[in-house]
């Protein structure tokens, strides 16, 4: 079993926590955009509070371990590894209850190139424990705004995990690209809408990141997930009660670096791998 101490050392050694790759400038810019209710940063959340930049900075210092000093405006950002380990413990506890109660679960990621393996392992373990891993709206279109304008995407499932795949058309040729990085809540809204159709099953727990957790939490579905220190929406949602657990971790590291987190969570949740 990966111990808490060994996991903490791994987090710091790989940059998953401790000094992370997110620049301080990017974090502060994200807090300003969230305070201005920019939908790229609210991730589908409609916050209850005003959440000014100073309030966000205090929240992120408390939940993630970033510096609370507003005068610190440059350099690398930091995530407290003890915050990460504590949140992973709470995350594992919620998965254990889901497995014990055999509830229907939905998993989805806006970081398929980094975090798909983490979530797919959880999906396999939850399924083996008797949970129904839901895959509604498979193959449905979702039109989402990108840097290149509104673009057609397909909802897809890989290893039981929802992702979105951009669709490109060149003349008569249509090509579906690999999973895309997205902050949008539109995919989870489409998935939950399909799940609410006659004969469908709504999840009792959503596991994921970005718009998947914030979008689900906003609609009243319990959600838990990972979030970087420049994703204030997930931590605001946790503070306001619409997300149950937000795990602070750099979400843009090599995918294999998340494997010890997977092992730690599954062992803590008493789930098979």
Residue 144 has a pLDDT of: 84
Beta bridge partners of 224: 207, 245
218-245 per-position pLDDT tens digit = 999 999 999 999 999 999 999 999 999 9
Lowest-pLDDT range, 43-57, 166-180, 189-203, 210-224?
Answer: 166-180
Q: Which residues of 130-164 are buried (b: 16+ CB within 10 A; e: fewer)?
A: ebebbbbbeeeebebeeeeeeeebbbbbbebbbbb
Please check whether residue 11 is in contact with residue 17, taking contact to mean a CB–CB distance below 8 angstroms. Answer: yes
- Residue 250, token pair as written in the block: 């750099």
Which residue reads 């995990």 in tokens? 161
43-89 per-position pLDDT tens digit = 999 999 999 999 999 999 999 999 999 999 999 999 999 999 999 99
Given pLDDT bands bounded at 50, 70 and 90, which one contains residue 1?
low
Residue 266 has a pLDDT of: 97
Q: Is the pLDDT of residue 25 over 90?
A: yes
- Cβ neighbours around 96 below 10 Å, total: 17
DSSP, collapsed to helix, strand or coil, labels residue 42 as helix
Given pLDDT bands bounded at 50, 70 and 90, which one contains residue 150?
confident
Average pLDDT score over residue span 151-179 = 83
Given pLDDT bands bounded at 50, 70 and 90, which one contains residue 176?
low
Average pLDDT score over residue span 135-158 = 88
The closest of 122, 128, 137, 121 to 102, measured between CA atoms, is 128
Q: What is the pTM of this model?
A: 0.94
110-142 per-position pLDDT tens digit = 999 999 999 999 999 999 999 999 999 999 999
Given pLDDT bands bounded at 50, 70 and 90, which one contains residue 170?
low
Share of the chain above pLDDT 90, in %: 89
Given pLDDT bands bounded at 50, 70 and 90, which one contains residue 272?
confident
Rounded CA separation 242/227 (Å): 15
Please check whether residue 97 is in contact with residue 90, taking contact to mean a CB–CB distance below 8 angstroms. Answer: no
Residue 178 has a pLDDT of: 74
Show me where the domains of the chain are located: 4-268
Q: Is the pLDDT of residue 173 over 80?
A: no
Q: How far is residue 59 from each of residues 33, 165, 191, 233, 234, measured CA to CA in Å?
A: 15, 33, 30, 11, 11
Given pLDDT bands bounded at 50, 70 and 90, which one contains residue 273?
low
Given pLDDT bands bounded at 50, 70 and 90, which one contains residue 2?
confident
């Amino acid at each position: 079993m990966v111990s808490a101490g060994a996991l903490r050392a791994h987090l710091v050694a790989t940059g998953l926590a401790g000094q992370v790759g997110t620049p301080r400038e990017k974090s502060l810019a994200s807090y300003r955009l969230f305070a201005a209710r920019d939908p790229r940063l609210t991730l589908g959340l409609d916050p209850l509070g005003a959440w000014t930049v100073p309030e966000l900075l205090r929240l992120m210092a408390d939940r993630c371990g970033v510096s609370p000093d507003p005068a610190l405006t440059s350099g690398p950002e930091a995530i407290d590894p003890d915050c990460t380990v504590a949140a992973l413990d709470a995350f594992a506890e919620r998965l254990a209850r889901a497995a014990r109660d055999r509830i229907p679960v939905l998993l989805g990621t806006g970081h398929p190139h980094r975090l798909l393996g983490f979530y797919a392992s959880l999906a396999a373990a939850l399924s083996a424990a008797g949970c129904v891993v839901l895959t509604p709206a498979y193959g449905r279109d979702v039109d989402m705004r990108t840097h290149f304008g509104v673009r057609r995407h397909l909802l897809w499932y890989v290893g039981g995990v929802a992702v979105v795949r951009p669709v490109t058309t060149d003349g008569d040729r249509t090509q579906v690209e690999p999973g895309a990085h997205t902050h949008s809540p539109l995919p989870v809204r489409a998935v939950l809408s399909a799940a609410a159709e006659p004969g469908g099953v709504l999840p009792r727990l959503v596991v994921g990141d970005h718009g998947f957790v914030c979008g689900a939490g906003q609609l009243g579905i319990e959600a838990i997930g990972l979030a970087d220190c420049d994703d204030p929406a997930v931590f605001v949602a946790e503070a306001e009660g619409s997300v149950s657990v937000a795990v602070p971790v750099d979400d843009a590291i090599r995918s294999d670096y998340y494997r010890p987190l997977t092992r730690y969570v599954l062992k803590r949740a008493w789930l098979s791998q």
